[in-house]
Amino acid sequence: MNFEVSQRFHFDAAHSLQREIDTVSSARIHGHTYHAEVTIAGTPDAQGMVVDLGIVRREIASVQQQLDHHLLDEVPGLGPATLENLCRFISAQLRPRFAGLASVSVWRESVGDSCRLTIS
């Protein structure tokens, strides 16, 4: 049987963005609270776990530290601080640790937008 387990976390960060619309306000440095969810798929082991979510939380903490209270424009390897690039950045950090990483989602409640990267 295939199961999916998920862990959510959040981070507060600043960014600027070059866009074709809302150019002035987007280009100005401003902040958001970002929410993220990491999903790992698999079959439960003898302990009944796809993966121990405590281990997932430990690995997430190291990604979170690279983003929380940072200016995302300056985070190495992120690129333009879009939801898409945040999903890619988080998945690139976690994929080597979790072979069953199935998806990474990032969203902003205040804006009502979201992005989900599914990993095959």
Ligand X SMILES: Nc1nc2c(c(=O)[nH]1)N=C([C@H](O)[C@H](O)COP(=O)(O)OP(=O)(O)OP(=O)(O)O)CN2
Q: Which of residues 9-68 bind ligand X (CB under 6 A)?
A: 17, 22, 25-26, 30, 32
Encode burial over 16-47: b for 16+ CB neighbours within 10 A, e otherwise: bbeeeeeeeeeeeeeebebebbbbbbbeeeee
Stretch that binds ligand X, among 43-51, 54-62, 67-75, 82-90 (CB under 6 A): 82-90
What is the C-alpha to C-alpha distance for residues 89 and 55, in angstroms, rounded to an integer? 19
114 scored as a contact of ligand X (CB under 6 A):
no
Q: How many residues bind ligand X (CB under 6 A)?
A: 12
* Residues making contact with ligand X (CB under 6 A): 17, 22, 25-26, 30, 32, 82-84, 110-111, 113
